Structure 1
């Protein structure tokens, strides 16, 4: 499908990989996926800005992402993974490069919960410094985590960003408590990434997910974002989904006008502000 929005849009969830960088044991070994590859692919679809999300395989070593952000000279933004005791100087360096949030991964076998246990304590320690920088907290979580996240968001006083449709998968009943928790998160200022379709118990063309996409958009409104999830680490390197196939479900569920707003208007509200 030919993309219909003008240049300048945002892909709010991509990863970059350096095949020579050390990785956490017990998970996948990424192939080389440099920034230039996704920039060219995104530009062909009218997407100029990227949000580089720190992959779980690199733990708290944000070096690959940081170097990519610095090379882009302010065009892109980033989301880092840090320890509770991270130095202020490191946070400031990340902010200067374009980082605007931190991520907790509750799903990956090398995510925060697997390595350090409950992330709530780390968040409580970090929250004052995150608030001072105007950062957000991104979560890769399952739908059953949402009630606890709704409580934690209110306690932390920080906006949460929910990866991959907040785990609200295609088989989830419409009356499931996760939807009530998602509504509470949205009412409290959370954002949602309309992304990761193949992680949500559906397959291309993702028709079963369209009601969930539309319902999430209705809940989150201008705090709905889109991400391609490139380079699709759950797929073999030679069998990656086409970039346009990750955009198509958005347009099919929401229509062209709403899709254009998601890509071009919503993301700058979260990622382009300057606090420090």
Structure 2
């Protein structure tokens, strides 16, 4: 009998098994019990922590990073609740805050498992933050050992190269840094991010291939392989993988999450490096324990 998974096409499991302690370092929880920011049309149904557990069982990941979605604004209650529901020992979060956030609130978020803040400015008109907030907030969260996570367009990255160079904390670029295909390696933003990675503090999330792929699922997202491999080749110790579940940018046809997980095998053919991407790197970035067992998901 075929099993249906919320916000995910297909029902098969990935061709390759996830190693013990594997982390999905980029996903979102949407929950109508919590405050909304902007249009409720941006809500995603069947995207609660309970729904995500089914996806975990399908792809075999045990650790998770919950990224605050735009629709919930700066009320990070939904993400803190998801961390508790999915298990604080194996779940971390990335919040969205404004510069007026108090030190006490940052401390509360840290205690709840938050380890970074996100600036989703790819579409500024719908954003909960803006570019003027990036540097002052980066200064504050650096003291907590947090990172800033950036979902920016390639043009925005290139235009704000000086700002990025001034940031004191670790930087994490979402979704392969959103470089346009098929000419990602020749875009000015590739050089900007590459220079930042030379300093040892800049990471890439291998996620969201459908966001910029021109060949799409039918072509196996093959046009994303060159840029993904370039990021891995530059610094294999500073890349992580994420599902981007529940795929909020794809309301009509949801991607096949087993295929997305298997795509990592194309991006990172070497098994030892792939283990690093799934287990060791997220443990370092998010502060998970270095060792794990296969029973982590059974609490």
TM-score (norm 2): 0.83
Name the residue aligned to 2:202: 190
Question: Relative contact order (alpha carbons < 8 A, sep ≥ 6): 1 or 2 greater?
Answer: 2
- Is the counterpart of residue 25 in structure 1 residue 38 in structure 2? yes
Given that 1:210 and 1:253 are in contact with CA atoms closer than 8 Å, whether structure 2 keeps it comes out as: yes
Runs of 4+ more than 4 Å apart: none
1:53-98 alpha-carbon deviations (Å, 9 max, x no partner): 0001111011111111123233200000001010111111110111
- Is the counterpart of residue 163 in structure 1 residue 187 in structure 2? no
1:115-161 alpha-carbon deviations (Å, 9 max, x no partner): x54x2x32332233212110000000111122345432331211110
Matches within 5 A, 1:51-200: 51-71=65-85, 72-108=87-123, 109-112=125-128, 117=130, 119=131, 121-188=132-199, 189-200=201-212
Task: Quote how far apart the aligned CAs of 1:104 are.
Answer: 0.4
Task: Quote how far apart the aligned CAs of 1:180 are.
Answer: 0.8
Tell me the secondary structure at the aligned position of residue 12 of structure 1. Answer: strand
Tell me the secondary structure at the aligned position of residue 44 of structure 1. Answer: helix
Name the residue aligned to 2:28: 15
**Cα 1:186–1:90 shift into 2, 3 Å:** same
Task: Quote how far apart the aligned CAs of 1:176 are.
Answer: 2.2
TM-score (norm 1): 0.90
**Cα 1:153–1:206 shift into 2, 3 Å:** same
Given that 2:31 and 2:47 are in contact with CA atoms closer than 8 Å, whether structure 1 keeps it comes out as: yes
Aligned pair count reads 268
Q: Unaligned stretches of 5+ in structure 1?
A: none
C-alpha separation between the residues in 2 aligned to 1:5 and 1:25?
A: 37
Name the residue aligned to 1:240: 254
C-alpha separation between the residues in 2 aligned to 1:273 and 1:129?
A: 22
Task: Quote how far apart the aligned CAs of 1:235 are.
Answer: 2.2
C-alpha separation between the residues in 1 aligned to 2:180 and 2:258?
A: 21
Tell me the secondary structure at the aligned position of residue 47 of structure 1. Answer: coil
**Cα 1:91–1:145 shift into 2, 3 Å:** same
Name the residue aligned to 1:252: 266
Given that 2:27 and 2:243 are in contact with CA atoms closer than 8 Å, whether structure 1 keeps it comes out as: yes
Name the residue aligned to 1:210: 225
